[in-house]
Amino acid sequence: MKYISTRGDTDPKPFSEVLLMGLAPDGGLMLPEHYPQVSAQTLESWRGLSYPDLAFEVMRLFITDIPAADLRDIINRTYTEAAFGTKAITPVRTLCDGIKIEALSNGPTLAFKDMAMQFLGNAFEYVLQKEGKTLNILGATSGDTGSAAEYALRGKKGVNVFMLSPDGKMSAFQRAQMYSLQDENIHNIAIEGMFDDCQDIVKAVQNDAAFKEKYHIGTVNSINWGRIVAQVVYYFAGYFNATSSNEQKVSFCVPSGNFGNVCAGHIARQMGLPIHRLIVATNENDVLDEFFKTGEYRPRLPEFTHITSSPSMDISKASNFERFVFDLMDRDAVQILALWAEVGVGEGFDLNLQLDKIRHRYGFVSGKSLHQDRLATIAAVYQTDGELIDPHTADGIKVAREVREPGELVVCLETALAAKFEKTIHEAVGNEVAVPRPAALAGLEGLPQRVQVLPNDAAAVKQLIREALEA
């Protein structure tokens, strides 16, 4: 299996090379030359597999340059009961109204990003050791990617992490998770701006070919294909756990800001997984909802991005969206270049003529949830089911209930645990309700924190990287 760029000007690459590169040299995103097709017979043979065995079967279709025994070892070391708290890894439970929730938040940082990031950490270490290379990760986070990456890569040989986050825009728990790490290979950088500013800096540095080459810059953001391929697995796991037969179809509702999580669902559907619909749930930053309703993609400037109580979705430029549009436009790189040239100058594009294809061929539908909606959903689920859900998962459940068709089996992806957002949970259900958190994270906010604050300036970030690596 080789990988190509959405922009069309990068030679096909093997997985191991794509894993280390982040953005393609031409500025595009890497995708497999084709999506492997999974037959009904294969699906049946996968039903009942353990999560690590299922992950191996799915991922080996995409990762053909790592020997099978080595890939299996990487996966077996990643998806363990010790790391994820349960043998099932991603158990599925059912709410009183029949909506199901797939738990993706049992990893070390209590967010779905662990599902891919734990794999990425082990895969990085394997490839770097095998090739005798080092890698300096530059990433951006709106809350969960950063901590998941840092926990996966802390202490890893040959890897440094430089993680950008918007200064003061994350929850106290999220900040503490990241900034309390004291490992020498972890560098936290708070940018005076929004997440989109952080993401723009990452792309600017990625596009500086000389700097990228000299300092071996890679990324763990969802622009990294390694993230996406690991996420594809839990759609298969969720499907098997939610159904009793491959004759059934399932719809997945996915809280989405950067489009990486739901992009993995799109790929699973293209592979042949019986997914009826992919339901995109946004918060007040509804650029994606607007697209799936109207065909217009209008990214907003950071100053027009809302600061919300589901902060991991406070994003107005969806980095992974280009992967889907590439498929939507029949993989025409020339069209992608033209469309993203419009995005690059602060405009957007209108694909309303593609709406029928978007909805029927690709199965997308969307909705949005506002602050009062998520508070009401958190309170309602607590009252009826006795459990606390985080604000992003609440956005998903609200939208799922809003758009669900009669008889439709909907699985909502639980993207984080309530413990990460105590303030919002208490606003929804009252301060007297205790928000459970793992014992290992008790007193997290009181730990010493290590972070550097920088202006919204790519040059300043590059200078910090230089100084850290040349010290």
Which are the contacts of 313, defined by CB distance < 8 A and separation ≥ 6? Answer: 142, 255, 256, 257, 282, 283, 285, 392, 395
CA distance 173 to 423: 10
Six-digit token pair at 38? 């999974």
Evaluate whether 447 touches 176 at the Cβ level (below 8 Å): yes
Whose CA is closest to 460, among 173, 190, 123, 135?
190
Asked if 36 contacts 62 with a C-beta cutoff of 8 angstroms, the reply is yes
The DSSP bridge partners found for residue 32 are 3
Active site residues: 113
Pick left, alpha or beta for residue 259 (phi over 0 → left; psi -120 to 50 → alpha; otherwise beta).
left
Determine the Cα–Cα distance for residues 63 and 39; give it in Å rounded to an integer. 19
Tell me which residue has tokens 């994003």: 315
Give residues with Cβ within 8 angstroms of 286, minimum separation 6.
368
Contacts 24+ apart (CB under 8 A), 96-100: 96/384, 96/385, 97/384, 97/401, 98/409, 99/397, 99/400, 99/401, 99/404, 99/410, 99/411, 99/412, 100/242, 100/409, 100/410, 100/411, 100/412
Task: State the CB neighbour count (10 A cutoff) for residue 469.
Answer: 15
Task: Find how far residue 433's CA is from the centre of its chain.
Answer: 30
